[in-house]
Amino acid sequence: MRIDVITIFPEYLTPLREALLGKAIEREKISVGVHDLREWTHDVHRAVDDSPYGGGPGMVMKPQVWGEALDEVCATSGEPPRLVVPTPAGQPFTQRTAVRWSHEPWLVLACGRYEGIDQRVIEDASRRMPVEEVSIGDYVLVGGEVAALTMIESVARLLPGVLGNPASAEQDSFSDGLLEGPCYTRPEVWRDLSVPPVLRSGDHAAIARWRRDQSLERTYERRHDLLDSMSEESLTARDRGR
Ligand SMILES: N#Cc1c(-c2ccc3ccn(Cc4ccccn4)c3c2)n[nH]c1N
């Protein structure tokens, strides 16, 4: 997978070069390009923003600069990229989104700042590539870079050869629609707190039941909305009996 990020703070994306993702880039499982939006300015001040039409607080990112940047970064004789635009007003980004995007050959992420990017940039890009305006959660950040890091990490970890143990991606929270239950490691007793005996029983069926029950209980307590949106078939008769 190829990932390009356009931003006025390229150094914000440095963490991508660290740890697991850094290794995946070194091993060419992913190629990441980070581009400074100001490269496409032509004035001495390298201006990327201007006052909003209709008034209101803050500034809006100029369409001309973004248009030229996307023209160049997204240029191809083949299939265009999927353009991802982080915004607090976007569709929710979920694990399902990450799975879907993990099958994409090329993502371009447009990281806005200020009050956002002139909407005509999204409108114009939609004429020649798929565009998704997405939000990573119901809170307001200062710009799109943290959201880009979040989304890139959640997509990249699903790619073959990126995670040391691919099974952990399959057993993700949300992968079966439920939250992950608690996990434990040695020692067996720590500050007079013991590991649940079933996990040391060696009875794999009992362990699997216990883990499913813990996921259901945690999801019911913390994210009832996930249960509400689960299809009946994905909940077993035993689950419903709990
Ligand atoms: N994804 C996501 C986001 C963002 C986000 C993403 C991109 C930008 C570009 C500018 N701002 C600041 C800003 C403040 C106020 C109104 C509009 N925009 C962003 C915020 N905030 N919260 C999320 N879940």
**Whether residue 225 is found in the same domain as residue 139:** no
Residue 209 catalytic? no
On the 0-12 / 13-18 / 19+ scale of CB atoms within 10 A, 88 is: middle
Question: Is ligand 1 within 6 A of the CB of residue 143?
Answer: yes
Domain match, 150 and 191 both: no
pLDDT tens per residue across span 137-154: 999 999 999 999 999 999
| Same domain flag for 119 and 205 | no
Among 16-20, 76-80, 123-127, 201-205, the minimum mean pLDDT is found in 16-20
Do 85 and 188 belong to one domain?
no
* Shared-domain flag, residues 130 and 26: yes
- Among candidate residues 113, 132, 145, 157, the one labeled active-site is 157
Among 166, 186, 208, which residue terminates a domain? 166
What's the gap in Å between 88 CA and the centre of ligand 1? 5
For residues 99 and 174, give the distance between their C-alpha atoms in angstroms, rounded to a whole number.
11
The active-site residue, picked from 11, 18, 115, 203, is 115
Q: Do residues 109 and 226 share a domain? A: no
Residue 186 Cα to ligand 1 midpoint, Å, equals 42
Of the three residues 107, 138, 166, the one that is the final residue of a domain is 166
Rounded Cα distance, 107 and 118, in Å: 20
Does the model's pTM come out above 0.95? no
Residues 115 and 203 in one domain: no
- Containing structural domain, residue 233: 173-241
Shared domain check, 144 and 95: yes
- pLDDT for 20 equals 85
Residues 105 and 212 in one domain: no
**Active-site residue flag, 187:** no
Q: Which of 10-24, 39-53, 150-164 has the highest mean pLDDT?
A: 39-53
CATH of the domain at 204: 1.10.1270.20
Q: Does residue 121 or residue 232 have the better pLDDT?
A: 121
Q: What's the pLDDT at 228? A: 87
Are 103 and 192 within one domain?
no
Side-chain half-sphere of 61: how many Cα atoms within 13 Å?
Answer: 27
Confidence of residue 74 (pLDDT cuts 50, 70, 90): very high
Active site includes 172? yes
**Percent of the chain, pLDDT > 70?**
94
Domain end point (choices 136, 166, 196): 166
For 71-192, where are the E strands, in sequence order? Answer: 82-92, 106-110, 131-135, 189-190
| Number of domains observed in the structure of the chain | 2
